[in-house]
Amino acid sequence: MLFWGHIGIGLAHALIGAFILTGFDFGIVIMICVFIFIYANSTGPIAWVYLAETCTDIGIGLGLWTLWAVVFIQILTTPALMNSALTPQGVFFVMSIISFLAAGFIYYWIRETRGLNDKEKRSVFQDKKIED
């Protein structure tokens, strides 16, 4: 779900950028609604659940700090980027590229934990060198 959510988010951002270029305002509104739906059903809740299922208390703290730090940085930079030479459509194209890169990261480095109990999840993420 996380992988396909980021693919959907990337497509939504790319289409928003394209609709800004063409001036199709109704398409922009529709794609913003599609983005909200995809985010609310994939990346939004899964980031929290995945952290809780796979990390220790310190890992959860660092993961949530990182999550909120990224949101804070986006809040600070997005308005300035919209008014820069990048223009609004450029911002959405950049966010689309970032979402596709995130999907690649998820595909190669995030491990599936569906159907595993807590002991099996720990063994998936345990460092193999420590087993001795």
Return the percentage of the chain with pLDDT > 70, whole number. 92
In a domain, 55, yes or no: yes
In a domain, 126, yes or no: no
Mean per-residue pLDDT of the chain: 88
pLDDT in tens, 8-42: 999 999 999 999 999 999 999 999 999 999 999 99
Domain count, the chain: 1
In a domain, 57, yes or no: yes
In a domain, 64, yes or no: yes
Domain that holds residue 29: 2-111
In a domain, 76, yes or no: yes
Cα 20 to Cα 14: distance, rounded to the nearest angstrom: 10
In a domain, 16, yes or no: yes
CA quadruple 39, 57, 62, 101: dihedral sign: negative
User: In terms of pLDDT, which residue wins out, 99 or 127?
Assistant: 99
Q: Is 91 exposed, middle or buried (0-12, 13-18, 19+ CB in 10 A)?
A: buried
Cα 74 to Cα 65: distance, rounded to the nearest angstrom: 14
In a domain, 66, yes or no: yes
In a domain, 20, yes or no: yes
**Whole-structure pTM over 0.85, yes or no?**
no
Placement of tokens 């109990």 in the chain: 117
